[in-house]
Structure 1
Amino acid sequence: MTEATTRTIDVPGAVLIYDIRAGSVADKLPLVMVASPMAAAGFTTLAGHFTDRIVVTYDPRQSERSKLTTDADPTPETHADDIHQVIQAAVGPGPVDVLASSGGAVNMLAFVAAHPGVVHTLVAHEPPLVSVLPDRTAALAAVRDVRDTYERDGLGPGMAKFLALIMHSGEVPADWSDRPAPDPAQFGLPTEDDGSRDDPMLGHGHIVNVTGYEPNYAAIKAAPTKVVMAYGIESEGLITQRAALAVADALGVEPTAFPSDHGGFLGGEYGQTGDPDSFAVRLREVLDG
């Protein structure tokens, strides 16, 4: 696999780290892979399937090698501007193709609205957009409860509630936040509070800002970007799958099924393995046409 070249860029409020892998075919569009809060390391296996293209990955400002230099909580618009600067520094003004997963898919919907013309094809894979769901009131209350639990009790209790929520299939019941809290130990999480509040998923306002974001559908439709709303075939009924379908409906596009689940592209990164070979085949099919 092509070795990555690592670079640093200063942006307002953060220092970002990004990686570039060279491509073997000159006329192929660069492929940018983004997630949030997952960092570039999560795309290592998938990037190895696209050695014909320049591949750009990066660590979001609250994750791993990148660092915040401000106390302000980043929003999807903040991340969109970060990604824009990374793309310009890495490969110029575009066009590029983009695979965006989870919170990265939310950030890239904000990107297309704010920076039309840069992205040729956006594959937005399972954005956790609670704001677009029919049960948004209960679901947003559940998200705020996750955030409040983390701020009050620490990582274990907060992450346990988060995992229970994202594993729930179907609409979120109105009394979800009033139900007994799950035991962190059942997820292998710490039960003691170490006092830290800088988790990239639950801290920095991430979970509330991402799930509550409302896409600018008019601006996205007006952009020349082909938007592909993707979901995993094993994610039936989960928040991220339901959100992908809802956004596809709002944009007037057909949702596109991908192999595996929310982490279908993972090949052992972060201890998770999806079906990266099949995922890469499907992604190439979508990008090629």
Structure 2
Amino acid sequence: MTSPAIGHLRVDGATLRYEVRGKGPLLLLIPGGTGGAASFDGVADALAADYTVASYDPRGLSRSPLDDPEAPQRVEQHADDASRLLELLSPDAPARVAACSSGAIVALHLLTACPERIERVVAHEPPLVEVLPDAAEHRALLARVQDTFRREGLMPAAAVFAAGMRRPGADPADAKAVTELPPQAAARAERTMADMPYFLGRIVPSFMAYTPDVDRLEALSDRLVLAAGADSQGELPYRPAAFLAERFGVELVHFPGGHTGLSTHPAEFGELLRKVLSA
């Protein structure tokens, strides 16, 4: 694996740590969950053959500290962070963006806010529950997660959250088998556990309450690829991408694996990502 060049960018209320590899047009990778830039380690080198590949730890995660550790988090501010990286790394040309999960929510807002900066966005399973017809049910789930977090702590709340993400009637043992990670990814997951309280306590409730400008996204859908895991059909994070693809009349592109296919199937995931970025 090639060692990336490391940089730091001051933004409003935080310092972002970012990584850059390769050369060519800019491809900004926006991570979801608690993985940070390292979540793209399995695909970044291959993509760097065609692109200047940049990823980063979003504000508040591991190596991108907040000035105020208790500051509330908003999708709009995270998207502004991404736009500042685009301005820094590709000031004269629009860029491509690929993002997963909560990072895909950021990417979609970025597309609607700064379309002149974006050539193509690949959004893998953005959990935009507010676009779904049963959004009220998922608001209740998020309220249960936060209530459990306050009363019982992190791990019980994480269990409630994970149960809510699974397809109805799924056996938790089956979900564990599907999401079992390779050793390197598992070790990385252990390192990111320290970020779980921040993610579950402040990113999840804010980001999953976010309502995108669906009409504006539809108007920009010629440069948007909505993606989902081949193994995650019926799970909550799959459904918004499928719903929006049907509404916009575009193909829902299925990537290998499930919601965490980037980690469980990195070679195949990266190969398909390269194809859809250049289509």
What TM-score comes out, normalization by structure 2 length? 0.84
Asked if 2 retains the 8 angstrom alpha-carbon contact of 1:112 and 1:225, the reply is no
Residue in 1 that maps onto 2:246: 249
Asked if 2 retains the 8 angstrom alpha-carbon contact of 1:116 and 1:225, the reply is no
Shift of residue 170 of structure 1?
A: 7.5
| Structure 1 residue corresponding to 2:37, chosen from 34, 40, 60 | 40
Shift of residue 151 of structure 1?
A: 2.3
Structure-2 change in CA distance of 1:227 and 1:197 (3 Å): closer
Asked if 2 retains the 8 angstrom alpha-carbon contact of 1:129 and 1:243, the reply is yes
1:56 & 1:240 partners in 2: Cα distance? 25
Asked if 1 retains the 8 angstrom alpha-carbon contact of 2:229 and 2:261, the reply is yes
- RMSD of the alignment, in Å? 2.1
Residue in 2 that maps onto 1:180: none
1:227 & 1:254 partners in 2: Cα distance? 10
Shift of residue 165 of structure 1?
A: 1.2
Residue in 1 that maps onto 2:21: 21
SS at match of 1:32: strand
Residue in 1 that maps onto 2:112: 113
2:59 & 2:195 partners in 1: Cα distance? 16
SS at match of 1:122: strand
- Letter in structure 1 aligned against 2:270: A
1:17 & 1:145 partners in 2: Cα distance? 33
Residue in 2 that maps onto 1:62: 60
Asked if 1 retains the 8 angstrom alpha-carbon contact of 2:221 and 2:248, the reply is no
Identity of aligned residues (%): 34
2:259 & 2:230 partners in 1: Cα distance? 9
| Structure 2 residue corresponding to 1:258, chosen from 255, 261, 271 | 255
* Structure 1 residues not aligned, in runs of 5+: 172-195, 267-273
Asked if 2 retains the 8 angstrom alpha-carbon contact of 1:117 and 1:225, the reply is no
2:234 & 2:196 partners in 1: Cα distance? 30
Asked if 1 retains the 8 angstrom alpha-carbon contact of 2:26 and 2:89, the reply is no
Tell whether 2:216 aligns with 1:219: yes
* 1:63-212 correspondence to structure 2 within 5 Å: 63-70=61-68, 71-169=70-168, 199-203=197-201, 205-212=202-209
2:113 & 2:225 partners in 1: Cα distance? 18
1:261 & 1:141 partners in 2: Cα distance? 24
2:41 & 2:205 partners in 1: Cα distance? 28
Asked if 2 retains the 8 angstrom alpha-carbon contact of 1:217 and 1:251, the reply is no
Asked if 2 retains the 8 angstrom alpha-carbon contact of 1:93 and 1:118, the reply is no
Structure-2 change in CA distance of 1:154 and 1:115 (3 Å): same
Shift of residue 221 of structure 1?
A: 3.5
Asked if 2 retains the 8 angstrom alpha-carbon contact of 1:88 and 1:94, the reply is no
Structure-2 change in CA distance of 1:147 and 1:94 (3 Å): farther
- Letter in structure 2 aligned against 1:144: A
* Structure 2 residues not aligned, in runs of 5+: 171-193
SS at match of 1:48: helix
Structure-2 change in CA distance of 1:216 and 1:158 (3 Å): same
Residue in 1 that maps onto 2:177: none
Structure-2 change in CA distance of 1:90 and 1:197 (3 Å): closer
**Structure label with greater radius of gyration:** 1
Asked if 1 retains the 8 angstrom alpha-carbon contact of 2:21 and 2:45, the reply is no
- Segments ≥4 residues shifted beyond 3 Å: 168-171, 221-225
Structure-2 change in CA distance of 1:280 and 1:68 (3 Å): same
Residue in 1 that maps onto 2:274: 284
1:102 & 1:226 partners in 2: Cα distance? 19
1:252 & 1:74 partners in 2: Cα distance? 32
Asked if 2 retains the 8 angstrom alpha-carbon contact of 1:170 and 1:238, the reply is no
Shift of residue 281 of structure 1?
A: 1.5
Structure-2 change in CA distance of 1:265 and 1:85 (3 Å): same
1:77-126 Cα deviation digits (max 9, x unpaired): 11100111122223325311111100011111111111112111100000
1:252 & 1:200 partners in 2: Cα distance? 36
SS at match of 1:228: strand
Shift of residue 222 of structure 1?
A: 3.8
1:131-179 Cα deviation digits (max 9, x unpaired): 12222111111012102211232111111111111123379xxxxxxxx
